[in-house]
Protein backbone atom coordinates (compact mmCIF):
# COMPACT_ATOMS: atom_id res chain seq x y z
CA UNK A 1 0.00 0.00 0.00
CA UNK A 2 1.71 3.09 -1.25
CA UNK A 3 0.96 6.14 0.82
CA UNK A 4 2.65 8.67 -1.44
CA UNK A 5 1.79 8.47 -5.12
CA UNK A 6 4.08 10.29 -7.53
CA UNK A 7 3.44 11.17 -11.16
CA UNK A 8 4.49 11.14 -13.88
CA UNK A 9 6.94 8.26 -13.89
CA UNK A 10 9.02 10.01 -16.54
CA UNK A 11 9.05 13.47 -18.03
CA UNK A 12 10.75 15.10 -20.99
CA UNK A 13 10.98 18.88 -21.09
CA UNK A 14 12.67 21.28 -23.44
CA UNK A 15 15.37 23.59 -22.12
CA UNK A 16 13.78 26.68 -20.66
CA UNK A 17 10.46 24.99 -20.04
CA UNK A 18 8.67 24.27 -16.77
CA UNK A 19 8.91 20.80 -15.25
CA UNK A 20 6.05 19.80 -12.97
CA UNK A 21 6.03 16.68 -10.81
CA UNK A 22 3.06 15.84 -8.63
CA UNK A 23 2.60 13.84 -5.46
CA UNK A 24 -0.52 12.85 -3.58
CA UNK A 25 -0.67 11.49 -0.08
CA UNK A 26 -3.26 9.79 2.09
CA UNK A 27 -2.13 10.24 5.67
CA UNK A 28 -3.35 13.60 6.98
CA UNK A 29 -0.86 13.33 9.85
CA UNK A 30 2.06 13.94 7.48
CA UNK A 31 3.70 17.25 8.35
CA UNK A 32 6.98 17.27 6.44
CA UNK A 33 7.25 17.01 2.66
CA UNK A 34 10.73 16.94 1.11
CA UNK A 35 11.83 16.56 -2.48
CA UNK A 36 15.06 14.76 -3.27
CA UNK A 37 17.14 14.90 -6.44
CA UNK A 38 19.24 11.96 -7.55
CA UNK A 39 21.80 11.97 -10.34
CA UNK A 40 22.96 8.68 -11.89
CA UNK A 41 25.54 6.97 -9.72
CA UNK A 42 24.87 9.24 -6.75
CA UNK A 43 22.80 9.11 -3.63
CA UNK A 44 19.66 11.25 -3.33
CA UNK A 45 20.17 14.80 -2.10
CA UNK A 46 17.62 17.01 -0.40
CA UNK A 47 16.43 19.64 -2.86
CA UNK A 48 13.68 21.51 -1.05
CA UNK A 49 11.14 20.76 1.67
CA UNK A 50 7.90 22.23 2.97
CA UNK A 51 5.70 22.01 6.02
CA UNK A 52 1.89 22.25 5.73
CA UNK A 53 1.64 25.66 7.38
CA UNK A 54 2.60 27.31 4.07
CA UNK A 55 1.19 26.81 0.58
CA UNK A 56 4.33 27.51 -1.35
CA UNK A 57 8.09 27.55 -0.90
CA UNK A 58 10.55 28.78 -3.45
CA UNK A 59 14.29 28.29 -3.66
CA UNK A 60 15.82 29.62 -6.82
CA UNK A 61 14.21 27.89 -9.80
CA UNK A 62 12.59 25.23 -7.62
CA UNK A 63 9.17 25.73 -6.03
CA UNK A 64 7.00 23.43 -3.93
CA UNK A 65 3.27 24.05 -4.12
CA UNK A 66 1.24 22.50 -1.33
CA UNK A 67 -2.53 21.93 -1.29
CA UNK A 68 -3.54 20.63 2.11
CA UNK A 69 -7.24 20.15 1.31
CA UNK A 70 -6.45 18.12 -1.79
CA UNK A 71 -3.61 16.29 -0.04
CA UNK A 72 -1.28 17.05 -2.91
CA UNK A 73 2.06 18.74 -3.36
CA UNK A 74 4.09 19.40 -6.43
CA UNK A 75 7.57 20.41 -7.53
CA UNK A 76 7.93 23.05 -10.21
CA UNK A 77 11.26 23.58 -11.92
CA UNK A 78 11.28 26.87 -13.77
CA UNK A 79 13.57 27.51 -16.73
CA UNK A 80 14.55 23.83 -16.78
CA UNK A 81 18.16 23.13 -17.75
CA UNK A 82 19.89 19.99 -19.05
CA UNK A 83 21.73 19.87 -15.73
CA UNK A 84 18.39 19.31 -14.02
CA UNK A 85 18.10 15.92 -15.72
CA UNK A 86 17.83 13.52 -12.79
CA UNK A 87 15.39 11.39 -10.88
CA UNK A 88 13.21 13.28 -8.42
CA UNK A 89 11.58 11.73 -5.38
CA UNK A 90 8.89 13.20 -3.19
CA UNK A 91 8.45 11.97 0.36
CA UNK A 92 6.46 12.62 3.51
CA UNK A 93 6.79 11.97 7.20
CA UNK A 94 5.05 12.57 10.49
CA UNK A 95 6.03 12.49 14.12
CA UNK A 96 3.78 9.54 14.84
CA UNK A 97 5.89 7.12 12.82
CA UNK A 98 9.33 7.94 14.22
CA UNK A 99 9.64 10.46 11.42
CA UNK A 100 10.23 7.68 8.88
CA UNK A 101 10.09 8.99 5.34
CA UNK A 102 7.43 7.53 3.06
CA UNK A 103 8.78 7.79 -0.46
CA UNK A 104 7.19 8.23 -3.85
CA UNK A 105 8.50 5.96 -6.61
CA UNK A 106 10.37 8.69 -8.41
CA UNK A 107 10.17 10.67 -11.65
CA UNK A 108 12.89 10.50 -14.24
CA UNK A 109 13.29 13.97 -15.75
CA UNK A 110 15.12 14.57 -19.00
CA UNK A 111 15.66 18.15 -20.15
CA UNK A 112 16.52 18.35 -23.83
CA UNK A 113 19.00 21.03 -24.90
CA UNK B 1 34.24 17.77 4.18
CA UNK B 2 30.92 16.63 5.64
CA UNK B 3 30.02 13.31 4.14
CA UNK B 4 28.60 9.83 4.44
CA UNK B 5 30.93 7.11 3.18
CA UNK B 6 30.08 3.55 2.26
CA UNK B 7 32.31 0.61 1.50
CA UNK B 8 32.52 -1.25 -0.72
CA UNK B 9 30.96 0.66 -3.60
CA UNK B 10 30.53 -2.47 -5.67
CA UNK B 11 30.34 -6.08 -4.53
CA UNK B 12 29.61 -9.34 -6.29
CA UNK B 13 29.19 -12.31 -4.02
CA UNK B 14 27.57 -15.73 -3.87
CA UNK B 15 24.52 -16.97 -2.04
CA UNK B 16 25.13 -17.63 1.63
CA UNK B 17 28.46 -15.86 2.02
CA UNK B 18 28.16 -13.40 4.91
CA UNK B 19 29.02 -9.82 4.07
CA UNK B 20 29.11 -6.42 5.73
CA UNK B 21 28.63 -3.05 4.11
CA UNK B 22 30.15 -0.29 6.20
CA UNK B 23 28.72 3.19 6.62
CA UNK B 24 30.38 6.09 8.37
CA UNK B 25 29.43 9.75 8.80
CA UNK B 26 31.62 12.58 10.07
CA UNK B 27 28.83 15.02 10.98
CA UNK B 28 28.09 13.76 14.49
CA UNK B 29 24.57 12.88 13.38
CA UNK B 30 22.26 10.95 15.64
CA UNK B 31 19.96 9.48 13.00
CA UNK B 32 21.18 6.93 10.49
CA UNK B 33 19.30 4.72 8.04
CA UNK B 34 19.82 2.06 5.44
CA UNK B 35 17.78 1.96 2.25
CA UNK B 36 17.67 -0.27 -0.75
CA UNK B 37 16.73 1.07 -4.16
CA UNK B 38 15.21 -1.18 -6.80
CA UNK B 39 13.76 -0.27 -10.21
CA UNK B 40 10.05 0.42 -9.97
CA UNK B 41 10.08 0.17 -6.18
CA UNK B 42 11.83 3.40 -5.28
CA UNK B 43 13.65 3.67 -1.95
CA UNK B 44 12.70 1.33 0.85
CA UNK B 45 14.03 1.66 4.36
CA UNK B 46 15.70 -1.43 5.78
CA UNK B 47 16.71 -0.32 9.29
CA UNK B 48 17.23 2.93 11.09
CA UNK B 49 18.95 4.08 14.24
CA UNK B 50 18.05 7.05 16.41
CA UNK B 51 21.24 6.92 18.45
CA UNK B 52 23.96 4.62 19.71
CA UNK B 53 22.57 1.20 20.63
CA UNK B 54 19.08 2.23 19.43
CA UNK B 55 17.95 0.58 16.20
CA UNK B 56 14.60 -0.34 14.72
CA UNK B 57 13.20 -2.09 11.68
CA UNK B 58 12.18 -0.25 8.58
CA UNK B 59 9.94 -1.54 5.83
CA UNK B 60 12.07 -4.43 4.55
CA UNK B 61 14.30 -5.71 7.39
CA UNK B 62 14.15 -9.43 6.58
CA UNK B 63 17.57 -10.89 5.85
CA UNK B 64 19.48 -7.91 7.25
CA UNK B 65 21.09 -6.96 10.55
CA UNK B 66 22.54 -3.71 11.78
CA UNK B 67 24.45 -2.46 14.77
CA UNK B 68 25.19 0.99 16.16
CA UNK B 69 28.02 0.71 18.63
CA UNK B 70 29.48 4.10 17.77
CA UNK B 71 27.72 7.24 16.70
CA UNK B 72 29.57 7.56 13.41
CA UNK B 73 29.24 3.97 12.15
CA UNK B 74 26.20 1.99 11.10
CA UNK B 75 27.17 -1.24 9.31
CA UNK B 76 24.68 -3.35 7.38
CA UNK B 77 25.15 -7.09 7.72
CA UNK B 78 23.81 -9.77 5.42
CA UNK B 79 24.30 -13.04 7.29
CA UNK B 80 23.27 -15.28 4.38
CA UNK B 81 22.75 -13.21 1.23
CA UNK B 82 20.29 -14.38 -1.38
CA UNK B 83 19.78 -13.28 -5.00
CA UNK B 84 16.70 -11.22 -4.04
CA UNK B 85 19.01 -8.98 -2.04
CA UNK B 86 20.72 -7.87 -5.24
CA UNK B 87 20.15 -4.14 -5.10
CA UNK B 88 21.60 -0.66 -4.73
CA UNK B 89 22.05 0.17 -1.06
CA UNK B 90 22.25 3.63 0.47
CA UNK B 91 23.21 4.73 3.94
CA UNK B 92 21.91 8.09 5.16
CA UNK B 93 22.28 10.26 8.23
CA UNK B 94 20.65 13.34 9.71
CA UNK B 95 21.33 15.53 12.72
CA UNK B 96 17.97 14.89 14.25
CA UNK B 97 14.46 13.82 13.41
CA UNK B 98 13.43 14.59 9.86
CA UNK B 99 10.86 17.36 9.74
CA UNK B 100 12.52 19.37 12.45
CA UNK B 101 14.62 22.41 11.71
CA UNK B 102 17.97 21.71 10.04
CA UNK B 103 17.22 18.00 9.83
CA UNK B 104 18.60 17.45 6.34
CA UNK B 105 19.20 13.82 5.49
CA UNK B 106 22.53 13.16 3.77
CA UNK B 107 23.00 10.07 1.63
CA UNK B 108 26.12 8.08 0.93
CA UNK B 109 27.21 7.28 -2.64
CA UNK B 110 25.63 3.84 -2.66
CA UNK B 111 26.78 0.23 -2.74
CA UNK B 112 25.77 -1.89 -5.69
CA UNK B 113 25.44 -5.47 -4.50
CA UNK B 114 25.01 -8.50 -6.74
CA UNK B 115 24.30 -11.88 -5.17
CA UNK B 116 24.76 -14.81 -7.52
DSSP assignment of B22-89 equals EEEESS--SEEEEEEEETTTEEEEEEEEEETTEEEE-S--TT-EE--SSSSB--EEESS--GGG-EEE
- A87 — pLDDT class (breaks 50, 70, 90): very high
A1 touches chain B (CB under 8 A): no
Instruction: Tell me the pLDDT tens digit for each residue of B10-36.
Output: 999 999 999 999 999 999 999 999 999
Subunit contact A106:B48, Cβ cutoff 8 A: no
Residue B97 pLDDT exceeds 80: no
A107 touches chain B (CB under 8 A): no
pLDDT-above-70 percentage for chain A: 96
Maximum CA extent, chain A:
44
Subunit contact A45:B107, Cβ cutoff 8 A: yes
Please compute the mean of the pLDDT values over residues A92-108 and round it to a whole number: 84
Subunit contact B58:A93, Cβ cutoff 8 A: no
Q: How many other CB atoms are found less than 10 A from the CB of residue A39?
A: 13
Mutate to test the interface with A, among B48, B105, B110 (most CBs of A within 10 A): B105
Out of A42, A43, A89, closest to residue B42 by CB: A89
Degrees (nearest 5) of the Cα angle B98, A109, A99? 10
- B56 — pLDDT class (breaks 50, 70, 90): very high
Lowest-pLDDT range, A28-32, A62-66, A85-89, B60-64? Answer: A28-32
Res B101: pLDDT: 56
B61 touches chain A (CB under 8 A): no
Determine how β-strand B111-115 pairs with β-strand B31-38.
Answer: unpaired
Q: How many other CB atoms are found less than 10 A from the CB of residue A97?
A: 13
Amino acid sequence: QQQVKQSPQSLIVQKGGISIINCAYENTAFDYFPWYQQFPGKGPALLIAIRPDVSEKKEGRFTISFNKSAKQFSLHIMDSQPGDSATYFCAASNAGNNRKLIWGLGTSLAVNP
Amino acid sequence: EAQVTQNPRYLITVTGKKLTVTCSQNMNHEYMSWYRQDPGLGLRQIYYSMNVEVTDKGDVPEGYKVSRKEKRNFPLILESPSPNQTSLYFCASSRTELGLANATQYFGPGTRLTVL
